[in-house]
Structure 1
Amino acid sequence: MNWTLEVVVVPVTDVDRAKDFYARQLGFNVDHDTTISDEVRVVQLTPPGSGCSIVIGKGAVPEMPPGSLRGLQLVVADIHRARAQLVERGVAVSEVQVLGENPSPTSDPLDNVGFVFFSDPDGNAWAVQQISSRG
């Protein structure tokens, strides 16, 4: 039996600002934006190529302090290209960092160990890792 992670809730203060950041600046696809009432709104966004989405919203999502989520991670085939794309879209992103030693050395010294880091407007922290075999 497969157990797939499909949705992660990301706590935000301003749904429209967060939707703009994830859709426009990160390039996530807007799967749906559903307003049920003035108190309930759910927006689901999916990174290109991902099987897992994020949900932001109000009223129908679990209460967590905005900006409290840490450790979300995206995987790309080319960390330099990904960083350049984020910079081009106005995302404040770290320089490329090497974390640890590659357990399976490849021709690219950044594979598996190359990372960049950024936060959304509320401070939820993200990492981007280069793993070319999954990109």
Structure 2
Amino acid sequence: MDWKLEVVPVPVTDVDRAKRFYGEQAGFAVDLDIEVGDGTRVVQLTPPGSDCSIHLNTGITGPPPGSLQGLQIVVPDIEAARAELAGRGVPVSPVRHYDEDGGLADGPGGRWNSFVFFADPDGNGWVLQERPADG
């Protein structure tokens, strides 16, 4: 039996602002934007090529905005992904890697060791990780 992660809720203060950020700047596809009851709205977005989506909402209680950290997306080319986000106005870190002491250092690292960090307008933290072509 396959178990597949479908949706990760991302806590935000302003759904419209977050929808613009994820849809226009981060390049996620807007899959759904509906009201499901009095004051409850759900916006679902999916990163390019992903089987897992995020959802933003109003009227559903959850963790405080900005509290989600370390959401990770793998990409085939870290430099190209960084350039795409930066080109859309997303403040992104330089490409970094973990050194032998566990600290972050500038520049790409070895296999599975090249990262770019960014955050949404509420401070929810994301990590891009380069995935080697041979997985």
Q: Please tell me the TM-score bracket, short chain as reference.
A: 0.7 to 0.9
Amino acid at match of 2:87: E
Counterparts of 2:44 and 2:120, CA distance in 1:
16
What is the RMSD computed on CA atoms of the aligned residues? Answer: 1.8
Q: Offset of 1:40 from its aligned partner? A: 0.7
Aligned to 1:45: 45
Q: Offset of 1:134 from its aligned partner? A: 7.2
Amino acid at match of 1:13: T
Structure 1 length-normalised TM = 0.88
> Are the structure 2 counterparts of residues 110 and 81 from structure 1 closer, same or farther at C-alpha, using a change threshold of 3 Å?
farther
Q: Does 1:57 align with 2:57?
A: yes
Matches within 5 A, 1:54-133: 54-60=54-60, 62-100=61-99, 110-133=110-133
Q: Offset of 1:58 from its aligned partner? A: 0.7
SS at match of 1:31: strand
Q: For each residue in 1:101-127, what CA deviation from the matched residue of structure 2 results, as whole angstroms up to 9, or x when unmatched?
A: 7xxxxxx95441000000000000000
Aligned to 1:26: 26
Contact 1:67 1:124 in 2 (8 A): yes
Aligned to 2:104: none
Q: Offset of 1:39 from its aligned partner? A: 1.1
> Are the structure 2 counterparts of residues 110 and 83 from structure 1 closer, same or farther at C-alpha, using a change threshold of 3 Å?
farther
Amino acid at match of 1:14: D
Structure 2 length-normalised TM = 0.88
Counterparts of 2:81 and 2:6, CA distance in 1:
23
Amino acid at match of 1:74: I
Amino acid at match of 1:33: D
Counterparts of 1:68 and 1:89, CA distance in 2:
24
Aligned to 1:104: none
Aligned to 2:103: none
Counterparts of 2:47 and 2:30, CA distance in 1:
9
Q: What is the identity percentage for the equivalent residue pairs of Structure 1 and Structure 2?
A: 58
